[in-house]
Chains A and B, each alone.
Chain A
Amino acid sequence: MRMTPDVDAPSKRTRSVPTGDIAMSCRVRLARNLEDERFPDWATERDRDRVFAKVRSALAAEKTGLTLKPVTSFAEQHLNMLRESHLISKDLLERAAGGGIAYAEKSPVCVMVNEEDHLRIQGFSDGLDMRSAWRRADALDTLLERHLNYAWSPRLGYLTACPSNVGTGLRAGTMLHLLGLRLLGEIEAVVRGLERMRLLVRGIGGEGSEAAGQIYQISNMDTLGVDEEAIVLRVMRISEEVVRQEYNARVRLIQESPLVLVDCLARSLCVLQNARLLSTVEALEFLSAMRLGASLGLFTRLKVQEVDKLILLMQPGHMQIGMDAALMSDERDEMRAGLLSRKLANVKLKC
């Protein structure tokens, strides 16, 4: 069947782009270590266990609502699910011995123990509300500090396993969906600009990962010589500027290259509704287009929040938890294709 989209339609039917759709979430992470203890990479198992016990006592002494559990006490699927939800890092899973996770369902804070540093305290928030993420991480850090002796020096601040985190130990990051800039071929210039401003730009999986689905994490590079509020404010302001650029790119796509946009959406919907096998990366690429279309109001019966939910549900850990079974890679690809085809069966392109 040949599709002849009404290329003028998008500009007529598109509602204004909510910037919240572009900024998916944000996070503030604080790296902390205990004095008189070796950093995790050089610690023996006994050292790591001792640190784990100290942090567990500190968490139990305050009403944080968090309970620290060893990484080894979680099922593999559960760990993958936490990883896919960006609550824990791949690094923590690789270091399993002595590692711990303190989190609670729907809690906006989480602590990783014996990752690269003894503690990685994280605060989360929606969109670009980074101040809330910072306040959450800061409050938990202050509570824990009552019971833990942090490694700190007046000159270098919080001492961390890697000198790239020394000082505030703070990494403030936003997760942005930048498909519009990609379709216009402008993403590379934006990334170069961000790097010139001493910001780190990474893919959805964090350090060393590709920006699959055109989802980027933007975070501060410098942690020393600037205070926490200033770091958070700077990352927030620059992220707002990137969101504005993405918004403008989307407007230009609709006005100047509607065929490119509609073609991308139509192809993605077609594949997701009909494919029999889909890998995670492949599915994420197509869902990224669906997310853009939903944000622009170009699909019937599809909201951005629903696409975000699908992005999580179709990942290996979430799928295996959903099926309550360990699945082989090709089994997962088949089930993923089936899941997305069912969930998107009634969705139609408006133009």
Chain B
Amino acid sequence: MTISRRGFVGGLVAGAGALSTSSAEAGTIEHFEGYPGRYGLLHDTTLCVGCRSCEVACAEVNAQPKPSQSIGDQSVFTTVRRTTDTAFTVVNRYQEADDDKPPVYRKLQCMHCNEPCCAAVCLVHAFTKTPEGPILYDPEVCIGCRYCIMACPYYALAYDYDNPIDPQVLRCTMCYPRIKEGLNPGCADACPVGAITYGRREDLIEVARERIRKFPDRYINHVFGEHEFGGTSWLMLSGIPFSELDLNEGVTHESLPAIGTSYLSVVPLIVTIYPGLLAAFYAFTRRKDKLAKQELDTALGEAREQAQEEMKAGLQKAAEKAKKEREKAVETAVGKALAEQQKEGSS
């Protein structure tokens, strides 16, 4: 489980099946295919006319206020918008109409990734990938750390910053309640030109490939969302390069959870290796201190002995010197006494 390196800056072109479709995620040796038969949506941007009926329908289904700019109001396209806490989907214009080229629009919303980054980074596990495909969010456990919003590569999530009591993360839910009832998502039903198709993801990929086969001049030869960052539930077709639609082209097939959690395999290693290692360091330090102390004690002992020897030798010398001087003094005194005796005897 090593940390893999991937070149992603303008690197690989992940199209035309150039790369193998099965990738071993960095987090594990196993490969996960996801729930079989799960649903998805196909967004054909070459068909989108920017009517924004999907925005209106989405607002209705989710009980949010209708978009302030009405359908047909072209001024809304002068800026590139993003989803908000009340607008779970928006349509942007990425290319203006030209003499020979029609304008290009794209609908933005949560992509309901196969391996959701938001779910992987949530520290209370508030996100769940359902077997049907949509990702659900549980506001009952959310603490509002907003890591999910920070991490989402599609900038799909929004937060309720004006709410001090119970703020939530807000996003497209892929109309999960409707799907469970067998209905289509609101946007798919509302689209008048068939730019949004709802169905099983594996079927939609076939539909998309078929369209590319039939109209090779109309489409870029790539189904966006099939493999990018592990694949998404929303698939896209485009007539212009996906990077011009603000979509990250050339990103790895490895899912963001795999990339983002690959490091976490190191954490248990630190916990299991450090105790023994650091206890060893501590033991080495104590041993070094003990040996140093022993050396010091030995050196002190030797120094003390040496000092004692020197003192003894010095004392001995002094004693001998004193003895000699005493003897000499005695000799001198005896000699003197004898000499005096002689003097007295002769007189």
The answer to whether A and B belong to the same complex is no
Binding site for A on B (CB under 8 A): none
Binding site for B on A (CB under 8 A): none
